[in-house]
Amino acid sequence: MADYYSDHFTTTVSGTSADDPSIKVASGINHATMRYKRAAATPAAGVTNGEKIFFMNLKTSDRMHHLYVSTPGMTGTDCTSNLGVYRTADDGGAVVDIDGFCPATVVPMDDLQDAIARVDCLLLNGTTQIEDSGKPLWDIINQAMGGSAYTEDPLETWVVVITILVEDAITAAGEIVVEAYYTATGN
For residue 135, give Cα distances in angstroms to 13, 37, 73, 122.
28, 17, 32, 11
pLDDT of residue 15: 43
Domain topology for 33-183: Jelly Rolls (2.60.120)
pLDDT by residue (tens digit) across 95-135?
999 999 988 877 676 677 666 778 888 878 778 788 888 89
Residue 11 confidence (pLDDT): 56
Q: Residue 24 has what pLDDT?
A: 60
The predicted model gives 3-11 an average pLDDT of 64
Q: What share of the chain in percent tops pLDDT 70?
A: 74
Average pLDDT, the chain: 81
Strands (E), 26-142: 34-41, 52-59, 63-70, 81-87, 95-102, 119-120
Whole-prediction pTM: 0.81
As annotated, the residues of the chain forming the CATH 2.60.120 domain(s) are 33-183
